[in-house]
């Protein structure tokens, strides 16, 4: 179910910014926030243990063949790593896998048009959306709210008081900061992959 645009809680609450390639888990009822373009953030929580976490990842490339599932592709391995880090850190704090619930956001195709390289023709946002839906379905984690796809960026605030997500859409014309971060992040991930060395971007 899509999440409507709302205003974040106005009272003074501790906040943490989750940047591209990062994840964060906590038992404190704080606000996790991030800016999304083509990237996807998954907000996971265990309502019984009162634990929450968020990641922020971008598949470094779409499966070029197109016949293989993104989950099984090289790109999917980056997403798998990002999701497993988030889930495992929640489990370490005491979450139960069968109680985890997910809200997912992002995956806008905002990177198209910024370069004349072949990458420009790839719908990276679409690949991210496809990945996260299939991962959650395969892992048996209910996706109870989402706002995915499209062409706009998003700012989200995940509030640990009641596990609400407050969303603001950002038009492409005002998304320069998001695009700059994602371009750099994507280029670094691509270089690391080409060198076949471990990367800590995820």
Q: Which residues are catalytic?
A: 39
Distances, alpha carbon 37 to alpha carbons 48, 97, 112, 152, 176, in Å: 32, 28, 11, 7, 10
Please provide the size of the chain in residues: 202
The Cα 42–Cα 44 span in angstroms is: 6
In the chain the first and final C-alpha atoms are separated, in Å, by 27
31-36 and 15-17 strand pairing: parallel
The Cα 95–Cα 88 span in angstroms is: 9
């Amino acid at each position: 179910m899509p999440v409507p645009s709302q205003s974040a809680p106005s009272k003074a609450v501790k906040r943490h910014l989750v940047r591209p390639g990062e994840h964060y888990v906590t038992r404190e009822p704080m606000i996790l926030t991030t800016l999304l373009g083509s990237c996807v953030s998954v907000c996971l929580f265990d309502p019984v243990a009162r634990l929450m976490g968020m990641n922020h990842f971008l598949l470094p490339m779409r499966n070029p063949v197109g016949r293989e599932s993104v989950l099984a592709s090289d790109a999917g391995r980056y997403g798998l790593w990002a999701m497993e880090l988030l889930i495992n850190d929640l489990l370490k704090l005491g979450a139960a896998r069968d109680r985890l619930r997910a809200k997912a956001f992002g995956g806008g195709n905002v990177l198209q048009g910024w370069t004349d390289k072949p990458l420009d023709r790839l719908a990276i946002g679409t690949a991210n959306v496809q990945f996260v839906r299939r991962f959650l379905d395969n892992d048996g984690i209910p996706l109870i709210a989402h706002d995915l796809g499209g062409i706009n960026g998003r700012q989200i605030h995940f509030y640990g008081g009641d596990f609400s997500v407050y969303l603001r859409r950002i038009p492409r014309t005002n998304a320069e900061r998001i695009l700059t971060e994602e371009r750099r992040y994507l280029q670094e991930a691509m270089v690391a992959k080409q060198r076949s060395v471990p990367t800590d971007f995820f």
